[in-house]
Structure 1
Amino acid sequence: MIDYKNIKVIGFDADDTLWVNETYFREAEQEFVKLLRDYETPNKIDQELFKMEIQNLDLYGYGVKAFTLSMIESALDLSNYNVSSKTIEAILNIGKTMINKPVDLLEGVEDVLKQVSKTHRLIVATKGDLLDQERKLEKSGLTKYFHHIEVLSDKKEANYSNLLKHLDVKPSEFLMIGNSLKSDVLPLVNIGAQAIHVPFHTTWAHEEVTEKETNGKSYKTISSIIDILKLIK
Structure 2
Amino acid sequence: MAKNLTIIAFDADDTLWHNERFFRITQERFAALLTDFTDPDHLMERLLAAEKRNLGHYGFGIKGFVLSMIETAIEVTGEKVPAAVISELLAAGREMLEHPIDLLPHARETVEDMARDHRILLITKGDLLDQERKLAQSGLGDLFDAVEIVSHKTRPVYERIFSRHGEGATHAMMIGNSLRSDVVPAIEAGGWGVHVPHGLTWEIERADAPEEAPRYRRIDSLAGLPDLVAEID
Distance 2:226 2:3 in 1: 13
Partner of 1:84: 82
Of 64, 67, 75, the match for 1:66: 64
Of 198, 218, 221, the match for 1:221: 218
Following superposition, the deviation at residue 168 of structure 1 comes to 4.0
State the SS of the aligned residue for 1:18.
Answer: coil
Distance 1:86 1:133 in 2: 29
Of 91, 106, 118, the match for 1:108: 106
State the SS of the aligned residue for 1:124.
Answer: strand
C-alpha RMSD over aligned residues: 1.2
CA contact (8 A) 1:186 1:217 kept: no
| TM-score for both structures, normalised by structure 2 | 0.95
Of 110, 122, 125, the match for 1:124: 122
Q: Aligned ranges for residues 150-189 of structure 1 at < 5 Å?
A: 150-189=148-187
Partner of 1:20: 18
Partner deviation per Cα, 1:36-76 (whole Å, 9 max, x = no partner)? 11110000110000000000000000000110010111111
Following superposition, the deviation at residue 210 of structure 1 comes to 3.2
Of 135, 138, 145, the match for 2:136: 138
Where structure 1 has 5 or more consecutive residues not aligned to the other structure, the ranges are none
Following superposition, the deviation at residue 165 of structure 1 comes to 2.8
Distance 2:95 2:167 in 1: 39
CA contact (8 A) 2:159 2:168 kept: no
Distance 1:64 1:5 in 2: 40
Moved more, 134-143 or 186-195: 186-195
Partner of 1:232: 229
Partner of 1:207: 205
State the SS of the aligned residue for 1:104.
Answer: coil
Partner deviation per Cα, 1:4-52 (whole Å, 9 max, x = no partner)? 8410011000000000001111111111000111110000110000000
Question: Percent of aligned pairs with the same residue?
Answer: 38
Q: How many residue pairs were aligned?
A: 228
